[in-house]
Structure 1
Amino acid sequence: MTDEDPRTDHVLVSNAVLGDTDAFEQIVARYGPEMFRYARNMLSDHGAAEEVVQDAFVAAWKGLDNFRGDSKLRTWLFSLVSHKVVDHRRKRAIAPAEDWVFERRSTDAHLDPETRATGDDFMQDLARALSELPYRQRACWLLREVEGMTHPEIGQIMTLSAGAVRGQLQRARVTLSERLAEWQ
Structure 2
Amino acid sequence: MDDKELLFLIKENKNKGFKYLVEKYSKSIYWHIRKIVLDHNNADDVTQNVFIKVFLNLDFFKGDSSLKTWIYKIATNESINFLNSAAQKKNVNSEELAIQLSSQLEDDSYFEGEEIQLKLQQAIAMLPEKQRIVFNMKYFDDLKYEEISEILNTSVGALKSSYHHATKKIEEFLLNSIEK
Measure, in 1, the Cα distance between the counterparts of 2:53 and 2:132: 24
The one of 145, 156, 164 equivalent to 1:162 is 156
**Pairwise CA RMSD of aligned residues?**
2.0
Contact 2:131 2:166 in 1 (8 A): yes
Contact 1:36 1:50 in 2 (8 A): yes
Q: What is the match of residue 42 of structure 1?
A: 36
Q: Which amino acid aligns with 1:96?
A: L
Identify the range of structure 1 (90-99 vs 74-83) with the bigger mean alpha-carbon deviation: 90-99
The one of 120, 123, 127 equivalent to 1:129 is 123
The one of 7, 12, 16 equivalent to 2:10 is 16
Q: Which amino acid aligns with 1:53?
A: T
- Provide structure 2 residue ranges, at least 5 long, that are not aligned to the other structure: 88-96
Q: Which has the higher helix share?
A: 2
Contact 1:96 1:128 in 2 (8 A): no
TM-score (norm: length of structure 2): 0.82
- Provide structure 1 residue ranges, at least 5 long, that are not aligned to the other structure: 105-119
Measure, in 2, the Cα distance between the counterparts of 1:42 and 1:66: 26
Q: What is the match of residue 138 of structure 2?
A: 144
Contact 1:13 1:23 in 2 (8 A): yes
TM-score (norm: length of structure 1): 0.81
Q: Any runs of at least 4 consecutive aligned residues in structure 1 with deviations exceeding 2 A, and if so which?
A: 17-20, 98-104
Determine helix, strand or coil for the equivalent of 1:180: helix
The count of aligned residue pairs is 163
The one of 68, 79, 88 equivalent to 2:82 is 88
Task: Kindly state the Cα deviation for residue 149 of structure 1 after the two structures are TM-superposed.
Answer: 0.2
